[in-house]
Structure 1
Amino acid sequence: MNRRKKGIQILKARVKKANAKLSTQTKPKYISKVQRARLDTTAIENDPVTAETQT
């Protein structure tokens, strides 16, 4: 690989990293299985309509 190509490759990588850092996050935050289970149980306990139908 010649010097010019290597220099361009490095600069493109730098620009790509900078753009990725500036872009907004569209991916939702990861929630573990345990946290999802807790959220489900609290949602069931707080909602009396579904709690009555399940029992």
Structure 2
Amino acid sequence: MKQTRIQNPKQRLCSQQDLNILLPLLMRDLPNYANRVSQRTRRKSRAVDFFSYIL
């Protein structure tokens, strides 16, 4: 029996994009994304909050 791999339409579209176009956009969004991840992973049980940001 042959298995058919179902591809996600988003995966196909992303793989067809030009890296030279995507890379500047990804680099532009990286600091905002990193800051969101940093804030999400902050421990809520700490007595003192330490805020870190990526610029």
> TM (normalized to structure 2)?
0.32
Q: Which has the higher helix share?
A: 1
Structure having greater relative contact order (Cα 8 Å, sep ≥ 6):
2
Larger Rg: 1
